Chain A
Amino acid sequence: TQLLEQSPQFLSIQEGENLTVYCNSSSVFSSLQWYRQEPGEGPVLLVTVVTGGEVKKLKRLTFQFGDARKDSSLHITAAQTGDTGLYLCAGYFYNQGGKLIFGQGTELSVKP
């Protein structure tokens, strides 16, 4: 059974600070996605990474995929109160077809 470990589970920071969220597995991902979820809504896709070593940027968010494709990180620069929410990593694994497995999530609170 593939499992995703996501850390930290909770993060409370001041506006303007930087933060990093980690996601890793003992199995190789065929691809990995990051989603963001706000209260009362479903998760929304932020990015998909496929190639080992890949780095993608989305405004102040930087996503990295490990060379071995077993880990990923999400870095937010100069966090804003609007970044508050639940961040979820999710992975597809080889031989698992279209099954997408989610991590436990990181609850981010950015205070003014």
Chain B
Amino acid sequence: GAGVSQSPSNKVTEKGKDVELRCDPISGHTALYWYRQSLGQGLEFLIYFQGNSAPDKSGLPSDRFSAERTGGSVSTLTIQRTQQEDSAVYLCASSFSADSTGELFFGEGSRLTVL
């Protein structure tokens, strides 16, 4: 497709379960970003990739969160042993490159609900 694709669009899980969220960036975009957004709030930075490397993973809230990117394309955000406070919309974005003026193109997000 032409845009950033995220799956699943909605995920309901029980506390303590692991979840994987997937992001397919725009073809040719070398930079990929993950953010978390609570209802009506701003975006909380989690991690970004340049190629397959993650220069900055400082936003990951705890060691239960991890992300990887393979082949310079698809990325997976994994949350282990989910907690209720993990409930949020997880947004992925891609950019042509991770420079200081790049426009981010966002997917529609994955809404995670932890019961």
Contact = CB atoms under 8 A, between A and B. Distances in A.
Interface of A: 6, 30-31, 33, 35, 40-45, 48, 50, 86, 88, 90, 92, 96-105, 107
A44 B40 CA distance: 16
A102 B103 contact: no
B49 to A, nearest CB: 9
> Which bracket fits the contact residues of B?
20 to 34
Given A45-B103, A98-B97, A98-B98, A104 B42 contact: yes
Interface string B23-54: 00000000101010000111111001010000
Interface of B: 4, 31, 33, 35, 40-45, 48, 50, 55-56, 91, 93, 95, 97-109
Given A31-B100, A42-B4, A105-B41, A100 B107 contact: no
Contacts of A43: 43, 91, 104, 106
